[in-house]
Structure 1
């Protein structure tokens, strides 16, 4: 089935001159185009590719005059792939961590019409987790949970994975000018895909952590990712439950948030006030603080359950073409 689809692989390149040529040479024969985007790389990875892989007729190297980030490089490559007539576009990192043969794994479900988008999942095999540095593992886990909530794709276990395949029709419908250009690109892409109700499928993939240097600092990225996920999460909830539709979960959110906030604020204010006066809170004050919190949290948990069950589960690319 995959042979009947034209597949383009997009390779964002930045400080990966030592690994990118091997990635290009290792890509499966089913790939029709390999589009490497040199994102103003100080190592001139694009030139290295032309020198070492220039005889590969599938290889196309594009150059950015200014660094745009991994998202900007990916968007440039994907747009070019669409112009070439690709049916499926696969983005893979150029640092050699991802097995190039996994391109077929993520493209296959889309080629068969089973999914609109496929994301790699590094966490399917516990043995692979031993290779991942503990700080990176903890950071990825935290970022993944935040992305699940902000994007609405609770079924995607590794949303920040750099291996992603997308049907051409879905990419055409995305607001390219609104997509994040840097490291938040992977998470922001899922948020935009949710607004199109695209079905995203998890696909197990292998990773190898070697001598490559990660361009992303977990310590510096978590605050930025946290704030941007909060932004996207609020946008998604407002659009999903109050603009595009209004349902039981909408009421649960409307009632649950004020109740929880009232109980929390009243409880803290009462506790602080009584502490200054050297008195204990009465049973009535405790109940007035705790009951709204309990009811509010129950309502919000019910809304969360509906949100989890509402993750898109049906491919839509057939209705877009």
Structure 2
């Protein structure tokens, strides 16, 4: 128990035989329950979890017979936790990449400052230079896209999986519908934003030692970008149309309509006429410029209103 709050920790693991024992043994003693999820590992991860389970009564093992992805491992952990009597649920990866000494900083944001969900931010740490350069730039791109998708514009480092959530908030979101693969972190943020829960960052140290990332950025970024696009439109529809109405959806719709129905076809017309007649079609060019400017202005207004609406 931590500050009179019962704490649960979810530890998803897939082929983590090298580091799973260190991860489980390093979880602070104030944690009440540890949900260790073995996602059909092909190595000795399950056996090691079961061995630790005999030594540590806090550990509850959830074993997947087939590999179902990181998101599904977290879903099972969250569902088990929300049906328990714990107050806060944290996530610590099975590769020992999340320093256990940072866990109190996440929990304090919920207990002492009233936030509902806290995620780690490695970019705040002075030792961020240890993050591989390709991860840093990939993270920066996905951070920008995630801000638009989730509505939490002040948030940084959304790819950090070191998180904590208040169980009262966990029970109010459809966590069972969360994305089962990578992209789950943006999905849960989107759910929280739709329900107007308070989210913040907490500084955590980046740990890159013996762990080997299973993320292939050349696959991960395009796939996650598509997921973020879907989340963006889902958030607009559910929060600003179904649950409440806000004129920013009209600005977004106007910009998208202009782009698809005017800007794109007139761009095609411009190049066809240019390469056919070898001269600039002035009328078409004028329409293109005018449409682009009003669409861009409309998007800026929508973003500004979205940021203002979510500033708290």
Normalising by the residue count of structure 2, what TM-score does the alignment of the two structures yield?
0.92
- Kept in 2, the 8 Å contact 1:271–1:281? The answer is no
1:165 lines up with 2:169 in the alignment: no
Task: Determine the structure 2 residue equivalent to 1:318.
Answer: none
Per the TM alignment, residue 304 of structure 1 is displaced from its structure 2 partner at its CA by: 0.5
Q: Does 48-57 or 189-198 show the bigger shift?
A: 48-57
Distance 2:158 2:96 in 1: 19
Cα contact 1:23–1:94 (8 A) shared by 2: yes
- Partner residue in 1 for 2:87: 87
* Between 262-271 and 149-158, the greater mean CA deviation after superposition: 262-271
Alignment of 1:44-193 (within 5 A): 44-52=44-52, 54-125=54-125, 127-193=126-192
- State the match for 1:316 in structure 2: none
Match of 2:22 in 1: 22
**Any conservation in 2 of the 1:155–1:311 contact (CA below 8 Å)?**
no
Is the Cα–Cα contact under 8 Å of residues 198 and 312 in structure 1 kept in the other structure? no
Q: What do the CA deviations read for 1:91-148 (whole angstroms, capped 9, x no partner)?
A: 11111111012221111111225200001011113x4332122222222222222222
Q: Residue 248 of structure 1 aligns with which residue?
A: 247
Indicate how the Cα distance of structure 1 residues 252 and 277 shifts in structure 2: closer, same or farther if over 3 A, else same.
Answer: same
Match of 1:310 in 2: 309
Deviation of 1:11 (Å): 0.4
Alignment of 1:282-301 (within 5 A): 282=282, 284-301=283-300
Change (3 A) 1:53 1:18: farther
* Alpha-carbon displacement from aligned partner over 1:147-194 (angstroms, at most 9, x marks no partner): 221121212111121111011111112213311112221121112222
Segments of structure 1 that go 5 or more residues without pairing to the other structure are: 314-321
Secondary structure at the aligned position of 2:83 is classed as helix
TM score, norm. by length of structure 1: 0.89
Secondary structure at 2:127's aligned position in 1? helix
**SS where residue 102 of structure 1 aligns?**
helix
- The CA distance in 1 between the partners of 2:213 and 2:190, in whole Å, is 24
Count of aligned pairs: 311
Question: Is the 1:9–1:35 Cα contact (8 Å) retained in structure 2?
Answer: yes
Structure 1: distance between partners of 2:205 and 2:135: 16
For residues 180 and 298 of structure 2, the distance between their equivalents in structure 1, rounded to whole angstroms, comes to 36
Query: Structure 1 residues 274 and 173, CA, compared in 2 at 3 Å: closer, same or farther?
Result: same
After superposition, the Cα gap between the structure-2 partners of 1:240 and 1:60, relative to the gap in structure 1 and judged at 3 Å, is closer
Tell me the CA shift for residue 285 of structure 1: 3.9
CA change 1:3–1:134 in 2 (3 A) is same
Pairwise CA RMSD:
2.1
